[in-house]
């Protein structure tokens, strides 16, 4: 028996990078205008959670913190095979930095009860800090395996292979543990037919939907609002600039002497002679 009963996967809804997400005057992303999608990095985390369920048993819970439309990614997770979804949604969470986000999410994990394994993506495509997973592990006092590219569970221990600079590191740790899943892990498998049918039903039947998707607030998870949102965030996105037109004009320089090419490319700027030692 693997002893795995509960698996948690943290997923985030992000602006669809292919859509022209506008910026608000204060430089934050205009999330209302932007098309939304499941954070691409979280697809690997979801695959890892579903893999554990398939190989070792257990129930998969997907958890997201965000505005009400974030229910969409919980439905997507259920269509792929997750058993239930929790949305932590509360106006007091607005403008949370990673410290406040990790605080609020760790309170959710405590509220949900014992989890044998917690999976997160490596990072998000909007904040892109890769800080939330490790911070949650720290707050829950759990061992953490980051940049995990593959793993197995043997005799109640996690055997993981993680990517490190220039190679791999094999680590073994006790459960429960938190794992940030690298993009080198297996791609998310297609939605199951059963899952796709279930989503159609859930979208038709609100009562049934409420059996699979639960919306919770800061009060439900006994989180201190002073540690959430803008109040709880030592970091603020002070300003973001729209990058100009990416991609300059391509000019081919060929068929001339090095000196002529250097002169042409540098516009004749004097270049100090480089003498090979
Ligand atoms: C352009 C930009 C720059 C930012 N820079 C900073 C900064 O420098 N410092 C800072 O503290 N904050 C910053 N933020 C705010 C930060 O994005 C938010 O705090 C965000 O909620 C969490 O950080 P992240 O997106 O970097 O997540 P990451 O740490 O990159 O996410 C890692 C994983 O944690 C899980 N996760 C993250 N957010 C959620 C969620 N809401 N619900 C469920 N799971 C989640 C997912 O599994 C995800 O793959 C920035 C935001 C933007 C848009």
pLDDT, tens digit (0-9, with 9 covering 90-100), for 183-238: 999 999 988 888 888 988 988 888 889 999 999 999 999 999 999 999 999 997 77
Instruction: Please name the residue that has the structure tokens 């300059």.
Output: 248
Q: Would you say residue 256 has pLDDT above 90?
A: no
Minimum-distance ligand 1 atom for the alpha carbon of 41: 49
Q: Report the mean per-residue pLDDT for the chain.
A: 90
Minimum-distance ligand 1 atom for the alpha carbon of 39: 49
- Cα 66 to middle of ligand 1, angstroms: 11
Using DSSP's 3-state secondary structure scheme, residue 28 falls into coil
Using DSSP's 3-state secondary structure scheme, residue 264 falls into helix
Judge whether 7 and 112 are in contact, CB under 8 Å: no
DSSP state at residue 104: H
Judge whether 228 and 222 are in contact, CB under 8 Å: no
* Closest protein CA for atom 25 of ligand 1: 127
* Closest protein CA for atom 15 of ligand 1: 97
Ligand 1 pocket check: which of 12, 100, 121 to mutate, most ligand atoms within 8 Å of Cβ?
12
Q: Would you say residue 163 has pLDDT above 90?
A: yes
- Cα 98 to middle of ligand 1, angstroms: 5
| Cα–Cα distance for residue pair 19/251, rounded to 1 Å | 30
- Cα 174 to middle of ligand 1, angstroms: 27
Helix (H) and strand (E) counts in the chain: 7, 11
Of 107 and 268, the structure prediction assigns the larger pLDDT to: 107
DSSP per-residue string spanning 121-168: ES--SSS----HHHHHHHHTT--EEEEEEEEEEETTEEEEEEEETTEE
Ligand 1 site residues, Cβ closer than 6 angstroms: 10-12, 29, 39, 41-42, 45, 64-66, 96-99, 101, 105, 120-121, 123-124, 126-133, 235, 237, 240
* Closest protein CA for atom 32 of ligand 1: 123
- Cα 25 to middle of ligand 1, angstroms: 21
- For residue 16, the Cα-to-chain-centroid distance in whole angstroms is 13
Say which CATH class 6-227 falls into. Answer: alpha beta
- Cα 168 to middle of ligand 1, angstroms: 26
Q: Measured on CA atoms in the order 106, 112, 117, 118, is the torsion positive or negative?
A: negative
Please name the residues in contact with 99: beta carbons below 8 A apart, sequence gap of 6 or more: 135, 232, 233, 234, 235
Closest CA to 129 of 141, 139, 120, 119: 120
For 201, phi and psi rounded to 5 degrees? -65, -45
Q: Residue 223: which H helix or E strand, with range? A: none
pLDDT digits (tens, 9 = 90+) for 74-111: 999 999 999 999 999 999 999 899 999 999 999 999 99
- Cα 262 to middle of ligand 1, angstroms: 45
pLDDT for residue 263: 84
Instruction: Please name the residue that has the structure tokens 């490319």.
Output: 265
Query: Which residue ranges make up each domain of the chain?
Result: 6-227
pLDDT digits (tens, 9 = 90+) for 9-46: 999 999 887 766 556 666 556 666 678 999 999 999 99
Of 254 and 54, the structure prediction assigns the larger pLDDT to: 54
Using DSSP's 3-state secondary structure scheme, residue 194 falls into helix
Quickly count: other Cβ atoms within 10 Å of residue 200's Cβ: 10
- Cα 40 to middle of ligand 1, angstroms: 13
Instruction: Please name the residue that has the structure tokens 């369920």.
Output: 53
Beta pairing, strands 177-181 & 144-154: parallel
Minimum-distance ligand 1 atom for the alpha carbon of 129: 26
* Closest protein CA for atom 53 of ligand 1: 127
């Amino acid at each position: 028996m693997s002893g795995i009963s509960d698996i948690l996967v943290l997923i985030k809804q992000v602006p669809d990078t292919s859509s022209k997400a506008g910026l608000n005057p204060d430089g934050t992303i205009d999330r209302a205008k932007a098309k939304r999608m499941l954070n691409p990095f979280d697809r690997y985390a979801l695959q890892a959670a579903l893999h554990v369920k398939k190989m070792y048993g257990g129930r998969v819970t997907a958890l997201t913190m965000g505005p009400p439309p974030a229910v969409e990614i919980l439905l997507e997770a259920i269509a792929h095979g997750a058993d239930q979804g929790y949305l932590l949604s509360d106006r007091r969470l607005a403008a949370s930095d990673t410290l406040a986000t990790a605080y609020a999410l760790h309170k959710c994990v405590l509220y949900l009860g014992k989890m044998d394994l917690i999976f997160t993506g490596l990072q998000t495509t909007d904040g892109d800090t890769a800080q939330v997973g490790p911070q949650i592990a720290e707050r829950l006092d759990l061992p953490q395996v980051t940049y995990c590219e593959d793993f197995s569970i043997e005799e109640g221990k996690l055997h993981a292979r993680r990517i490190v600079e220039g190679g791999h590191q094999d680590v073994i740790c006790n459960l429960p543990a938190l794992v940030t899943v690298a993009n080198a892990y297996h791609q998310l498998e297609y939605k199951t037919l059963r899952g796709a049918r279930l989503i159609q039903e859930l979208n038709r039947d609100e009562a049934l939907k409420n059996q699979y998707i639960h919306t919770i607030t800061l009060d439900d998870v006994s989180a201190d609002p002073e540690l959430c949102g803008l109040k709880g965030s030592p970091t603020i996105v002070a300003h973001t600039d729209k990058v100009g037109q990416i991609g300059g004009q391509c000019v081919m320089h060929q068929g001339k002497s090095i000196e002529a090419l250097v002169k042409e490319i540098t516009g004749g700027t004097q270049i100090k002679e480089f003498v090979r030692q």
